[in-house]
Structure 1
Amino acid sequence: MNKKLNSLLFYLLLTIAIFAASSIIKAQNIPEKNHTNDQWKKVFKDSFYQSDEDPPITPKDGTTRSGSLCLVSPGLIEAEGKIWNTRPTFIWQGKLEGISIRPANSQEVLWAETVQDNQQIIIYDGESLKPGHTYYWRVFDSTASEYSFPTLRVTFRVMDVLERQVITQELEKLDTVLKQAKATPETIALAKVKFLAERNLFSDALSEAFTVKNPSTELEDFRSNILERFCPTSKGNGK
């Protein structure tokens, strides 16, 4: 009798847990069956598309005079250039030779990387950047020598410790719920993109979208739309 009762209680608790996870997913407006469908289009329209009446983003100038090189993120599509990630993803359109990071109050180069042909993103893999600190990321064209004369320089700032902790905890909860629901990596990325974009952390949102492996056609279209959105001139001139 006790075994039957224990089994009944187990299945009841399991049902409640599954229902709770499903409710959270619905509340986040995330596809339950790992089908992103038109969700990427909706995120692009809601968070990144600039209308004449109510532009959600006003990007800073991150292009060369010829328009052949266009920097997308980080630091160019947020009003304050503020990011959450201490290992950001750098996204651009066009050709460049190298990239480096240094603190805004120092000449020390923290990290430098040579860029491969046709490479359009690179993930920072140096020592974690410090919350509350401001940095420059600098890019160099093919004529630069030993990364001494940057073609472009962009300022960005990692958010303060307490503010960052709140975002980190919420992202961890979201990640846990979705993994328990057996969501695909792309569905998880979609949820995080929406979460971060809603908090005006657009560079962090793009980092999630541009680092998904084996992207769907919809996600590839989203990436193309982002580059067209922020770099229409450079895209028209070709890579």
Structure 2
Amino acid sequence: MVKPVVSNLAILAFILVSFIGLTQQLSIAEKKNPSNTSWFNISRLLFTKKPPVNPRKGGSRPTEIICMISPDAPNTRRKIWSDRPLFIWQGNVSKVTVKSLNNNQVLWSEPVKDTQHIRYNGEPLKPGQSYKWEVNSNRFITFQIIDMQQRDRITTQLQTIEAQLQKQGANQEAIALAKANYFAEYQLWSDVLQQIYSVNPPSAELNNLRQQITQNLCTDQ
């Protein structure tokens, strides 16, 4: 009666050791080849019951409703690493404007058509300064570029990440994903979203994520 039990225990031990070894091999392979990673982790963070991104809606009629997604409007002013941020919205927007919060001076203004996002392409915004982005000259959200010391540190780390991945032969999307994960760790959600829209052309998975951003974040949670 003892022999069958010992035999079964030996088989279970062998299976367990094999499973652990396979798990370690997959983990090592994923680290060596970042292109095997997925955008699933990013989408899981963005689309929780209490998403870290809090878009602001405006308009009294359905045709007027505009959902300003990023930069968004959390309880405290959104801080951003990029000095050329990406603006994302849902709704009928004809013009996007960036102003200095201190004196309301117009720094950049761009007409838009048939798009739901645009990247700021004016003079680089200044670290530590606060700004507001307006849509259609009647709705706005304020945001702030992080201070110089923190921004320089993050810039150096991002350059290191990109250099390492390029050495491993990673493609543009794999690098954008690594940067998005990095920004997510520091809760720089506007910069996470900017990485999502930085790849051209995107994979089917990434393109699907972009579509989910406007659908999920602009729906009442």
- The TM-score bracket by the shorter chain reads 0.7 to 0.9
Task: Verify: 1:96 aligned to 2:83, yes or no.
Answer: no
Residues 33, 86 of structure 1: CA spacing in aligned structure 2 closer, same or farther, 3 A cutoff? closer
Match of 1:220 in 2: 207
Q: Kindly indicate whether the alpha-carbon contact (under 8 Å) linking 1:83 and 1:204 is maintained by their aligned counterparts in 2.
A: yes
Q: Is the 8 A contact 1:59 1:76 kept in 2?
A: yes
Match of 1:84 in 2: 81
Q: How many residues align?
A: 191
From the CA coordinates, give the structure whose radius of gyration is larger.
Answer: 2
Unaligned 5+ runs, structure 2: 1-26
TM-superposed CA distance for 1:77, in Å, is 5.4
CA contact (8 A) 2:99 2:105 kept: yes
Displacement of 1:232 in angstroms is 2.2
Identify if the C-alpha distance between structure 1 residues 213 and 84 changes in structure 2 by more than 3 Å, giving closer, same or farther.
same
Once the 2 structures are TM-superposed, how far is the Cα of residue 74 of structure 1 from its aligned partner? Answer: 1.3
Inter-partner Cα distance in structure 2 for 1:79 and 1:176 = 34
For residue 49 of structure 1, what is the aligned residue in structure 2?
47
8 Å CA contact retained: 2:55, 2:217: no
Write out per-residue CA displacement over residues 42-89 of structure 1, whole angstroms, 9 at most, x where no aligned residue: 2210x21222xxx35151524333353111101435843110000001
Runs of 4+ aligned structure 1 residues displaced above 4 Å come to none
Could you tell me which residue of structure 2 aligns to residue 112 of structure 1? Answer: 109
Q: Indicate if the aligned counterparts of 1:62 and 1:152 stay in contact, CA closer than 8 A.
A: no
CA distance in 2, matches of 1:85, 1:93: 22
Deviation string 1:80-100 (CA, Å, 9 cap, x unpaired) is 311000000111111111011
CA contact (8 A) 2:55 2:218 kept: no
Q: Which amino acid aligns with 2:41?
A: K
Provide closer, same or farther for how the CA distance between residues 78 and 183 of structure 1 changes in structure 2, counting only shifts above 3 A.
farther
Shift in CA distance, 180/77, structure 1 to aligned 2, threshold 3 Å: farther
Partner-residue secondary structure (3-state), 1:232: coil
Which structure 1 segments of 5+ residues have no match? 1-25, 141-149, 234-239
Structure 1 residue 151: Cα displacement = 2.6
Given the alignment of the two structures, is residue 138 of structure 1 paired with residue 139 of structure 2, yes or no?
no
CA contact (8 A) 2:53 2:72 kept: no
Q: Within 5 A, what are the aligned runs for 1:1-239?
A: 32=33, 34-36=35-37, 39-45=38-44, 47-51=45-49, 55-57=50-52, 59-66=54-61, 68-76=65-73, 79-116=76-113, 118-140=114-136, 150-232=137-219
| Cα offset, 1:191, TM superposition | 0.8
How has the CA–CA distance of structure 1 residues 99 and 58 changed in structure 2, closer, same or farther, with 3 Å as cutoff? closer
Percent identity reads 33
Map Cα deviations across residues 151-186 of structure 1 (whole Å, 9 max, x no partner).
311000001111111111111110110111110101
Instruction: Tell me if structure 2 keeps the 8 A contact 1:178–1:188.
Output: yes
2:128 aligns to what SS in structure 1?
coil
| 1-structure distance, mates of 2:145, 2:42 | 24
User: In 1, distance between residues paired with 2:191 and 2:74?
Assistant: 10
- Are the equivalent residues in 2 in contact too, given 1:94–1:120 (CA < 8 A)? yes
Read off the aligned partner of 1:57 and give its amino acid letter. P
8 Å Cα contact 2:34/2:165 also seen in 1 = no
Q: Deviations over 1:107-136 (max 9, x none)?
A: 3110000102x2111111110000000001
